[in-house]
């Protein structure tokens, strides 16, 4: 349940904000009183959001988005690097261009967003929070998702390194590690696995559902609740961590 005014006075920027988990995070911070900007190729449709269109893998566009948020919202307190993509493909059939595409969107966008945010936060001199999107697939290998798994594992190490390096500036860096979350991505994921396994998309989805001890897939709200907490003073001593929301599927 959201808490009104929990983030009152804070400035938040979320990448990959137009749908799914990103939109859920935007809506959560808005409901809790923050000034929120969404950065995405598509319009971020949420009441009260500053929607900025752009490519999270474009260095100049990311810097421009951060600069605009600082100018219009009086600074940047929380950066959520959520932009990402998933694709199902056997490694022996994967073109190098596809590997590069997934790495660019999933890893390079997080580097660019984190770097731009860190520069702004250091200049402000009041600390800040950087929260990056990893995945349960970044903690263990999954057949036909080699590029996705590798990209999400990279984010874990990037986030840990940022936490140590930026701690003297009182900038915390953590990542959230979703398990199976119901988002618009699911149709494409199910079709991809159906193609390589010979199952129907419905059977693929049900098979994944049965791996979750909690008995259901997660929602964008489940993820947004954890992200919101990571941005609060209650999490002031939490940095360099990977916080999972997975219904006990991968307990660590």
The pair of three-digit structure tokens given for residue 111, joined into one six-digit string: 């580097």
Same domain, 59 and 158: yes
Query: Mean pLDDT, to the nearest integer, of 100-112?
Result: 98
Same domain, 230 and 113: yes
Same domain, 112 and 66: yes
Beta-bridge partners for 131: 80, 174
* pLDDT > 90 in the chain, percent: 94
Is residue 201's pLDDT more than 90?
yes
Is residue 55's pLDDT more than 70?
yes
Same domain, 154 and 117: yes
* pLDDT > 70 in the chain, percent: 99
Q: What is the CATH number of the domain that holds 97?
A: 3.40.50.720
Nearest to 86 by CA among 208, 241, 228, 222: 208
Same domain, 110 and 202: no
> Do the domain assignments include residue 252?
no
> Do the domain assignments include residue 143?
yes
**Beta strands 50-53; 11-15: pairing state:** unpaired
pTM here is 0.96
> Do the domain assignments include residue 162?
yes
Same domain, 112 and 189: no
Q: Out of 27-31, 79-83, 197-201, 247-251, pick the least confident.
A: 247-251
| Domain boundaries, position 22 | 11-181+219-240
Is residue 132's pLDDT more than 80?
yes
Nearest to 13 by CA among 101, 114, 103: 114
pLDDT bin (cut points 50, 70, 90) of residue 168 is very high
Same domain, 37 and 49: yes
Is residue 252's pLDDT more than 50?
no
DSSP assignment letter at 108: I
Same domain, 168 and 200: no
Same domain, 33 and 58: yes
Q: Out of 16-20, 206-210, 220-224, pick the least confident.
A: 206-210
Measured distance CA(53)–CA(112) in Å, rounded? 16
Q: What is the pLDDT, as a whole number, of residue 251?
A: 58
Number of structural domains found in the chain: 2
**Beta strands 78-81; 11-15: pairing state:** parallel
> Do the domain assignments include residue 1?
no
As a whole number, the mean pLDDT across the chain is: 96
Query: Mean pLDDT, to the nearest integer, of 208-234?
Result: 96
Q: What is the pLDDT, as a whole number, of residue 186?
A: 85
> Do the domain assignments include residue 245?
no
3-45 confidence digits (pLDDT tens): 889 999 999 999 999 999 999 999 999 999 999 999 999 999 9
> Do the domain assignments include residue 128?
yes
Same domain, 105 and 17: yes
Q: What is the pLDDT, as a whole number, of residue 158?
A: 98
In 10 A of CB 135, how many CB atoms? 27
Report the catalytic residues. 148
């Amino acid at each position: 349940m959201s808490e009104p005014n929990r983030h009152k006075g804070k400035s938040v920027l979320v990448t990959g904000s137009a749908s799914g988990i990103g939109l859920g995070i935007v809506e959560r911070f808005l409901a809790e009183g923050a000034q929120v900007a969404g950065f995405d190729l598509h319009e971020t449709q949420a009441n009260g959001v500053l929607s900025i269109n752009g490519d999270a893998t474009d260095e100049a566009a990311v810097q421009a988005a951060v600069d605009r948020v600082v100018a219009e919202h009086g600074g940047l307190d929380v950066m959520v690097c959520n932009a990402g993509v998933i694709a199902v493909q056997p490694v022996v059939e994967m073109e190098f261009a596809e590997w590069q595409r997934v790495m660019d969107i999933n890893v390079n966008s997080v580097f660019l967003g984190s770097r731009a945010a860190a520069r702004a936060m250091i200049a402000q001199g009041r600390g800040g929070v950087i929260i990056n999107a990893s995945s349960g697939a970044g903690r263990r290998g999954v057949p036909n998702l080699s590029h996705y798994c590798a990209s999400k594992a990279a984010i874990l190490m990037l986030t840990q390194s940022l936490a140590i390096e930026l701690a003297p500036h009182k900038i915390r860096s953590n990542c959230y590690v979703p398990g199976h979350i119901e988002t618009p991505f699911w149709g494409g994921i199910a079709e991809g696995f159906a193609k390589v396994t010979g199952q129907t998309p419905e059977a693929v989805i049900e098979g994944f559902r049965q791996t979750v001890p909690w008995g259901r897939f997660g929602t964008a709200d489940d993820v947004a609740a954890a992200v919101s907490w990571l941005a609060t003073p209650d999490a002031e001593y939490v940095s360099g961590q990977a916080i999972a929301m997975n219904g006990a599927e991968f307990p660590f």
